């Protein structure tokens, strides 16, 4: 098998493995959704109004989520009101309050900050509105549902790919925004892949930090610091997503290291896929956003209509207060 074929096969594994389900959570999430049929007859006869409260639309990935969610909801006869907070906690809370005031039947939230967004859940519940956390968990509260991928598996795939190509050397380890629950899952997956290599002394983590707000410019700055501290002696950079990978690669290019240092990613953004072809980004993990967004829209409409969704619940995640189904 040629190196090219091995690469194609390896990427295919990354694509498929990201779709695996989470392990069992040790509790029955169905207890959280009993009695949801109370409004079924009412909502079957009236239009469903959904609030989609997004953190940001800066990345191509989130634009796709929005467009496909709205399109599927429309196919099901629902209307979606979309807001975007541009990474501002206070603005997102105000936007959520406005959606609640407009009388949405269900509020779908992509939280910028998984902790401060707890107040959104509380306010929505006081108004009798259910809350679904989309691809980012809302902590310390009681959201009604959480719809996402296996974040830990994604993180494992990122580090595992780099280690397969570079099993020794100095690694820079960047994680996503510390306020994002998913960033912690990705980092946990990274750690699982890295641990045996670190324990053997084959890999040394020479720089480690979180990328505030997932911003590429913050990732670039951190990478510049890491390179300076280590006199450019770095063999790989674990990037938490494609956006931050872009910032990292800018820092590498400035030192003539682009294509020489391995860089991970995730989301399969168009720009990232182009960088993979060019050889400046080593890999990206494709997550089937189409499947996630469509499923989320279908479940949201079903919840609004009080329909039974128990067959689509396969897990529960601890958010420091409850197990969210």
Structural domain boundaries in the chain = 22-149+289-324, 151-278
Q: Alpha-carbon distance 321 to 307, whole Å? A: 26
Give me the residues of the chain with pLDDT under 70, please. 1-46
Q: Alpha-carbon distance 24 to 73, whole Å? A: 29
CB 239 within 8 A of CB 55: no
Find the Cα–Cα–Cα–Cα dihedral 240, 244, 246, 250, rounded to 10°. Answer: -120
Using one digit for the tens of pLDDT, what is the confidence trace for 255-309? 999 999 999 999 998 999 999 989 999 999 988 889 999 999 999 999 999 999 9
User: pTM of the predicted model, to two decimals?
Assistant: 0.81
Q: Which CATH class is domain 22-149+289-324?
A: alpha beta
Q: What is the pLDDT of residue 24?
A: 32
Q: Which CATH class is domain 151-278?
A: alpha beta
Pair of tokens at residue 57: 């639309």
Same fold, 22-149+289-324 and 151-278: yes
Q: Alpha-carbon distance 49 to 25, whole Å? A: 32
The two beta strands, 262-263 and 236-238, are parallel
Q: Alpha-carbon distance 100 to 106, whole Å? A: 9
């Amino acid at each position: 098998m040629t190196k090219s074929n091995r690469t194609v096969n390896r990427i295919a594994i990354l694509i498929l493995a990201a779709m695996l389900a989470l392990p069992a959570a040790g509790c029955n999430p169905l207890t959280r959704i009993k009695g949801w049929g109370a409004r079924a007859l009412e909502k079957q006869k009236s239009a469903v109004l959904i609030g989609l409260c997004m953190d940001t639309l800066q990345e191509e990935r989130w634009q796709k989520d929005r467009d496909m969610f709205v399109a599927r909801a429309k196919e099901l006869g629902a209307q979606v009101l979309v807001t975007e907070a541009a990474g501002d906690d206070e603005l997102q809370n105000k936007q959520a309050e406005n959606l609640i005031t407009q009388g949405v039947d269900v509020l779908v939230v992509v939280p910028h900050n998984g902790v401060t967004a707890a107040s959104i859940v509380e306010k929505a519940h006081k108004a009798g509105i259910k809350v679904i956390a989309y691809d980012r968990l809302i902590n310390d509260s009681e959201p009604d549902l959480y719809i996402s991928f296996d974040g830990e598996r994604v993180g494992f795939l990122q580090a595992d790919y780099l280690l397969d190509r570079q099993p020794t050397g100095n690694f820079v380890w960047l994680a996503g925004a510390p306020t994002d629950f998913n960033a912690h899952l990705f980092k946990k997956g990274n750690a699982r892949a890295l641990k045996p290599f670190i324990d053997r002394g084959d890999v040394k983590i020479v720089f480690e930090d979180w990328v505030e707000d997932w911003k590429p410019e913050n990732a670039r700055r951190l990478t510049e610091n890491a390179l300076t501290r280590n006199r450019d002696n770095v063999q790989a950079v674990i990037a938490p997503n494609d956006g931050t990978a872009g910032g990292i690669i800018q820092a590498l290019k400035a030192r003539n290291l682009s294509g020489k240092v391995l860089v991970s990613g995730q989301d399969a953004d168009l720009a990232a896929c182009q960088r993979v072809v060019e050889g400046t980004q080593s890999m990206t993990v494709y997550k089937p956003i189409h499947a996630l967004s469509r499923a989320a829209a279908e479940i949201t409409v079903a919840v609004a209509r009080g329909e039974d969704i128990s067959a689509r619940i396969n897990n529960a995640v601890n958010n420091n207060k409850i197990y969210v189904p």
